[in-house]
Amino acid sequence: MRLWSLHPKYLDSKGLVALWREGLLARKVLLGKTKGYKNHPQLIRFKNHKNPINAIDTYLINVYLESKLRNYHFNRSKIGNKFTEELLDVTETQLIYELEHLRIKLETRDHDRYLELKNITIPDPNPFFIMVDGDIETWEIQKES
């Protein structure tokens, strides 16, 4: 499960669809409607929010809005109608780490998208997050180089 901190505008079509599905799975986990993924590290930040469901829905509405810009047909009824104004922090270093992770995926999967992202140094976050200074997030599972 990867719940990108990056703005969904950076994702290719496969990535955006996968993010929507994984976000909906995360929502089910937070609602207690599935047995798997309960302790997945990517969920920590949502679990720690004072209202996890409103937090994941706020995150997902931004994914949904990106899908609308691309004329995709994501099912809006899969998420709630209550959102939060209490945004979460994400570190600049985390965003840069995720951008590099995405670039590696796109280099073979969608080379045109890869080229579009090639010169971005500091990416925008999903609008649910506020970029702050800091290291890679403690919940991130880093791949060894």
87-133, pLDDT tens digit by residue? Answer: 999 999 999 999 999 999 999 999 999 999 999 999 999 999 999 99
Residue 57 lies in a domain: yes
Q: Give the residue among 86, 85, 66, 83 at the shortest CA–CA distance from 74.
A: 66
Q: For the chain, what percent of residues have pLDDT higher than 70?
A: 99
Residue 2 lies in a domain: no
Contacts of 18 (CB under 8 A, 6+ apart): 2
Q: 132: which 2 tokens? A: 């702050």
Mean pLDDT of the chain: 94
State which residues form the domain around 126: 8-132
Residues 107 and 87: their CA atoms lie apart, in Å, by 31
| pTM for this predicted structure | 0.94
Q: Give the number of domains in the chain.
A: 1
Question: CA-CA-CA-CA torsion for 128, 114, 42, 91, nearest 10 degrees?
Answer: -60
Give residue 40's pLDDT band: very low, low, confident or very high (50, 70, 90).
Answer: confident
37 DSSP assignment = T
